[in-house]
Amino acid sequence: MRAVSASLPYLDEMQAGLKQHFGLDTFRYGQAEVISNIISGKNTVVVMPTGAGKSLCYQLPAMLLDGVTVVVSPLIALMQDQVDQLQSRGIAATFINSTIGDGERADRQRRMREGQYKLVYVAPERFRSDAFVSALLDARLALYAIDEAHCISQWGHDFRPDYALLGQVRKRLRPPRTVALTATATPEVREDITRVLLMKEPQVFVAGFDRPNLFLEVALVTGDADKKAACAALAEEGSGVIYCSTRKQAEAIHEHLVKEDVPTVLYHAGMEDNARRKAQETFMASTESVAVATNAFGMGIDKPDIRFVAHAGIPRAVEAYYQEIGRAGRDGKDSRAVLLFNHADVFTQERLIQSNHPAETMFVDLWNVLRPLESFDRGLHLLASQVGSTEFEISAAMKILERAGAISRANRGEGRYGITVLPSGMLHQPRSPEAKALLAALNSGAPPGVKQTMELYLLSRKCGLDEDKIKHALTLLERSSIVLVQRPFAGRAISVLKHEPWSSLGVDLGRLREQERNQLLLLKRMTDYAYTKHCRRAFLLRYFGEEVAFGQSCGSCDVCTGPKLSVQGKPARSVQGPTGAKGVPERFSVLAAEELKRWRRELSQDLGVPPFIIFNDATLFALAAALPTTHDEFMAVKGTGESRWERFGPRITQICLMARASGDVPQVPAFIPGRRRAR
């Protein structure tokens, strides 16, 4: 631990507060300088790796400053964890988000206005509420803290449009000091954070990104069997986290590890809250347990003895990858970060990015379904089937339409319960104490046969039970035919606010297309990391703007010292692509086909990837048959896509134009690859 300079302003107060409120004796690297800067009233940008203690950088100033600190955080689960930890230390903290009812929300805003809280956590969307902003303006605001600040930048790996409005929020609130914090920000993202938040010359603190105890490796795998074998081998190292791209992949790897007698927990957003909570508690308590999870797992996880972090699919950005591998080896002992890489996973991520940025034709079809309606509350799956699209694309489009003011959506599960005590139910008495207490509260509210409508938090106050127990008691009473329960819609009901044609809505999709291009570029940078032939540690450090000498061996990555992990099967780089040309069209331009093959061969050598990774033979010959010269013609060829158009489109259209100009029209050649000659 580096010594803290005794000349730092407010150092004595900081050290006393550190001990009093957090039970700590010393600051971690970089914390004291950041906290001193904030207390001094200066605007601050903090870039610290995961596990370096960013939260303390605003939590301690919140305790030492006079007034309330509002913390903008992107994840509701992370807010809950932070508030629980603070409250366990006797610190007055709360959150205000969509998980609480209107009455409770109003009560917390009143208490914030009256100065009863030191920290209030909110999502960026909360600033859309005039009532919340009004309460905050009436409160004594000491510090405006933006956590996960990379979400501000379209160059960040997790851009959120509501984060982009936080600069205007800051302008309205006029806080005496602002701090923006992130674990992963390239120099261009830091500039974006400063610009969007309207901060003039803030003090920027960048803690060291080098993790010498973390061995970096990319293991090339041929498929799921190799990935499962590699995960089982890594589990012998001790406690670890295996990140998967999808829930289905996480479940499959979890099932394999269970069969291999590896102590394993599963964690993804599709699980019930209690199941996720139990999985996390089991993982935290064990020195050997392995968590198989999607990227929903990890926020707020501070387990020092994680020996490895593996990725069974390529992450979408270097920033996300670095943040997740940073959870390994926080105790300073040797640990491993392994990417199990197959280029097919890159195509999967490209498709996910494209699905998250739907084409305009899908928006038109969706709007034609919604436009005649006043509301829709039958669920996204039914809406997707009517449009002929996927729930993923529909969900992405909904966010755009909501921001454009064309629709509004209720919060998930928002609404009141309709509860009727049945006259026949009066003949039965429940056995459960919770059910008895709830029934007594219901009987005091209305006579049997009369429906009562109310939110759960009101019932909670009335009968003294928490909301989970009320839900359980309602189920018991319902099963016993004592009450009839009408529950609120479990999804998010959609209200249609406008009814004009799509062409008159004025929805600008330009930003959506730009964001899609940015995300595809971030994915390419991550792919470059996987294929780099130079030191991986140097790659990461340069990516985040640190100066690194060329040609030095780090001694702790597979490029510099050789791989540590061996997997079953052949590594992907030695796998040959499809040799036949299944599905080759009868007619194609021989000149275009030969030129496309030559171009593909040279590009594959430059990129260090097999030729079929760029285009397989079937797609290549389909291009030679269609000879596309425009975007739409290119996209009509099976096996292409928007990302490939952006990367390869100009060169391919040049080749096709050359073939057309030479008069080499599609024809039946003497020999088609992959087919037998006619006898």
Sheet holding 68-72, edge to edge: 93-96, 119-122, 68-72, 141-146, 178-182, 44-47, 203-206
Per-residue pLDDT of 311-323, as tens digits, reads: 999 998 998 899 8
Q: Outline where DSSP puts E strands in 18-84.
A: 44-47, 68-72
Residue 205 φ/ψ, nearest 5 degrees: -115, 120
Q: Are residues 114 and 191 in the same domain?
A: yes
Question: Do both 607 and 548 map to the same domain?
Answer: no
Mean pLDDT of 192-215: 88
The structure tokens 């496309």 sit at 596
Residue 129 contacts residue 165 (beta carbons within 8 Å): no
Note whether 298 and 370 are same-domain residues.
Answer: no
Instruction: From 206, 222, 251, give the residue that closes a domain.
Output: 206
CATH number of the domain residue 324 falls in:
3.40.50.300
Q: Report the Cα 128 to chain-centroid distance in Å.
A: 22
CA 607 – CA 647 distance, rounded (Å): 13
Q: Note whether residue 2 is domain-resident.
A: no
Q: What is the mean pLDDT of residues 288-316?
A: 88
Q: What is the mean pLDDT of residues 166-182?
A: 95
Q: Grade residue 172 by pLDDT with cuts at 50, 70 and 90.
A: very high
Whether residues 149 and 180 fall in one domain: yes
Residue 362: half-sphere exposure toward Cβ, Cα within 13 Å: 23
- pLDDT tens-digit readout, 129-152: 999 999 999 999 999 999 989 888
Per-residue pLDDT for 572 more than 50?
A: no
pLDDT band at 574 (very low <50, low <70, confident <90, very high): very low
Give the rounded percent of residues in the chain with a pLDDT score beyond 70. Answer: 91
CA 312 to CA 315: how far, in whole Å?
A: 9
What's the rounded mean pLDDT across residues 443-458?
Answer: 83
Q: Does some domain include residue 556?
A: yes
The pLDDT score that the predictor gives to residue 157 is 61
At 533, which amino acid appears? K
Say yes or no: 76 and 155 in one domain.
yes
Measure CA of the first residue to CA of the last residue in the chain; give whole Å: 80
Inform me whether the pLDDT recorded for 620 exceeds 80. yes
Angle of CA points 66, 69, 72, to nearest 5° = 170
Residue 564: which of 135, 230, 250, 300 has the closest Cα?
Answer: 230
| CA angle in degrees (0–180, nearest 5) for 166-97-283 | 105
Cβ proximity of 81 and 130 under 8 Å: no
Residues 77 and 140 in one domain: yes
Of 86-100, 110-124, 251-265, 296-310, minimum mean pLDDT range: 296-310
More confident: 6 or 276 = 276
Residue 640 has pLDDT above 90, yes or no: no
DSSP code string of 439-475 = HHHHHTTS-TT-EEEE-HHHHHHHHS--HHHHHHHHH
| Any domain includes 388 | yes
The answer to whether residue 674 sits within a structural domain is: no
For residue 402, give the CATH number of its domain. Answer: 1.10.10
DSSP class of residue 100 equals S
Split at pLDDT 50, 70, 90, the class of 670 is very low
User: Is residue 577 pLDDT above 70, yes or no?
Assistant: no
Judge if 26 and 148 occupy the same domain. Answer: yes
273 shares its domain with 220: yes
- Domain containing 147 equals 11-206
Which carries the bigger pLDDT value, residue 35 or residue 514? 35
Amino acid at 608: G
Per-residue pLDDT, 581: 45
Residue 154: phi, psi to the nearest 5? -70, -15
Q: Is position 595 within any domain? A: yes
Six token digits for residue 599:
């171009």
Q: Tokens standing for 44?
A: 């601050």
Average pLDDT over residues 422-450: 84
Quickly state the pLDDT bin for 269 (edges 50, 70, 90): confident
pLDDT digits (tens, 9 = 90+) for 330-371: 888 999 999 999 887 887 888 888 888 998 999 999 999 999
Measure the CA–CA gap between 232 and 613, rounded to whole angstroms: 28
In a domain, 3, yes or no: no
Q: How confident is the model at residue 155 (pLDDT cuts 50, 70, 90)?
A: low
- pLDDT greater than 90 at residue 160: no
Q: Are 542 and 372 in contact (CB under 8 A)?
A: no
> Using 50, 70 and 90 to split pLDDT, how confident is the model at 299?
low
Distance separating alpha carbons of residues 17 and 118, to the nearest angstrom: 14
| pLDDT number for residue 185 | 74
Please tell me whether residues 63 and 183 are part of one structural domain.
yes
Facing residues of 404 across strands? none
Within-domain flag for 330: yes
Residues 565 and 580 in one domain: no
pLDDT at residue 412, rounded to an integer: 60
Residues 423 and 375 in one domain: no
Number of domains the chain contains: 5
Query: How does DSSP assign 616-653, residue by residue?
Result: -HHHHHHHHHH---SHHHHHTSTT--HHHHHHHHHHHH
Q: Write the Ramachandran bin of 33: left for phi over 0, alpha for psi from -120 to 50, otherwise beta.
A: alpha
- Tell me, yes or no, whether 678 lies in a domain: no
pTM of the full structure:
0.66
What mean pLDDT is predicted for residues 373-395?
86
Confidence bin at 388 (pLDDT 50/70/90): confident
Number of continuous H segments (helices) and E segments (strands) in the chain: 28, 19
Question: What is the full DSSP assignment across 298-355?
Answer: -TT---TT--EEEESS--S-HHHHHHHHTTS-TTSS-EEEEEEE-HHHHHHHHHHHHH
pLDDT band of residue 583 (cuts 50, 70, 90) is low
| Higher pLDDT, residue 424 or 244 | 244
Question: What is the pLDDT, as a whole number, of residue 117?
Answer: 97
Distance (Å, whole) CA 359 – CA 461: 48
Q: What is the pLDDT of residues 515-561, one digit of tens each?
A: 888 888 889 899 999 989 899 999 998 888 777 777 778 999 999 99
pLDDT for the residue numbered 569 = 45
CA proximity to 417, closest of 379, 457, 389 = 457
Predicted pLDDT at 428: 73
Q: Which of 435, 464, 486 represents a domain boundary (last residue)? A: 486
Q: Which residue has the higher pLDDT, 360 or 672?
A: 360
Position 410 scores a pLDDT of 75
- pLDDT at position 207 over 80: no
What average pLDDT does the structure give for the chain? 86
- Per-residue pLDDT tens digits for 9-45: 999 999 999 999 999 999 988 899 999 999 999 999 9
Q: Are residues 68 and 156 in the same domain?
A: yes
pLDDT at 2 over 60: no
